Structure 1
Amino acid sequence: MIGRRRLLAGALGFAAPALLAREALASAPRQLSLVNLHTGEKLAATYFEGGRYVPDALAALDRVLRDHRTGEVHPMAPGLLDLVAGLAGQVGRPGAVQVISGYRSPASNAALHANSSGVATRSLHMQGMAMDIRIPGVSLARLRDTALALGRGGVGYYPDSDFVHVDVGKVRQW
């Protein structure tokens, strides 16, 4: 009969490599390449390095993702950046992620809502928790399906407007 201590030591021996691999992945550098289609600004940034988010890189991403109508800059949720970077990685990252909409000020969101039933009154864009994107060379259907498979937030499919909405709110789709 195997002793309890020996059994625990054996179990830890099997679990340790998996835990170390997960920890290494969690602390691996994270990069994102974006182009804002309204301003033409491009940015490739390593926004997570050494197990920490990089404040200067986050600020640069916030600026590129600002409300292009008002110029207002708002902090974007790091989890959203992780989601978009992960999504780009899953589809093979053939080019920079094209951003149709990042942060939206309440005034911009209200104006858009007044002209479109497709804009939520309490949009997560106003909290820096949503982006409308596309990736050159990747079909919108594949982008949508990959985002849904990640299961990390909301996914809206807008083929007529040529973008996919992703957010870090509740998991849902439309």
Structure 2
Amino acid sequence: MTPTTSGISRRALLGAFAATAVSAAPTFSNAAGFIKGAGDIRRIRMYSARTGERIDMIYWVEGDYIKDAVKEVNHFMRDWRTNDITSMDLRTIDIMAAAHNLMDVKEPYMLLSGYRSPKTNAMLRARSRGVAKNSLHMKGQAADLRLGSRSVGQMAQAAAACRGGGVGKYSGSNFVHMDCGPVRSWGG
């Protein structure tokens, strides 16, 4: 479950989480946890309209990923068309969580696509020019997400601020792609 060394560094991700902690500290509702010495945690909140499932979980505490929580995240982000599961790259989960913190929202992400099996990716590619042949979704390194309370531009800006990977804006379809590949951006 250890992230690979390509793409974002551990230091860059820790910096993104530190920035979210600093930006969150001035509000009383967020400051209470800091005052009580709650420690450093990472939380992910998502739901899937396709499966009806929801997830709201702390998956990292004080520098350690929680094995059972990561397993649940992997299951939640499975290819819902084939039920295939992979180990999601934890850097992508960290980027998603950091961007969520930067936006200061309680609303969970709507997960449109996490892991995609090669079969699903080929099917989607046959239907749309916007699906990459070697999509990072097939490596468990990408997610397509939506928030009702934030625009595509706001979500993309938060994800790009993490400087952890690729950020694609799909305004026409109302979602943002986040991945842990090379830092880059596209779309409108």
Instruction: State the TM bucket, normalised to the shorter chain.
Output: 0.7 to 0.9
TM-score, normalised to structure 2's length?
0.77
Once residues 120 and 105 of structure 1 are traced to their aligned partners in structure 2, the CA distance between those partners, rounded to angstroms, is 13
Residue in 2 aligned with 1:3?
A: none
* Larger RCO (CA within 8 A; separation ≥ 6): 2
TM-score, normalised to structure 1's length?
0.83
1:15-26 alignment, distance < 5 Å: none
Contact persistence 2:100–2:158 (CA under 8 A): no
Larger radius of gyration between Structure 1 and Structure 2: 1
Structure 2 unaligned blocks of 5 or more: 1-14, 22-38
1:133-144 alignment, distance < 5 Å: 133-144=145-156
Tell me how far 1:140 sits from its aligned partner. Answer: 1.0
1:121 aligns with 2:121: no
1:48 aligns with 2:60: yes
Deviating 4+ runs (over 3 angstroms): 24-27
Q: How many residues align?
A: 152
Q: Secondary structure at the match of 1:160?
A: helix
Q: Secondary structure at the match of 1:146?
A: helix
1:117-171, Cα deviation, whole Å (9 max, x unpaired): 1000000000110000012211111111222222210011111111000100001
Residue in 1 aligned with 2:175?
A: 163
Residue in 1 aligned with 2:69?
A: 57
Contact persistence 1:94–1:135 (CA under 8 A): no
1:11-160 alignment, distance < 5 Å: 28-160=40-172
Structure 1 unaligned blocks of 5 or more: 1-21
Which amino acid counterpart does residue 83 of structure 1 have in structure 2?
A: I
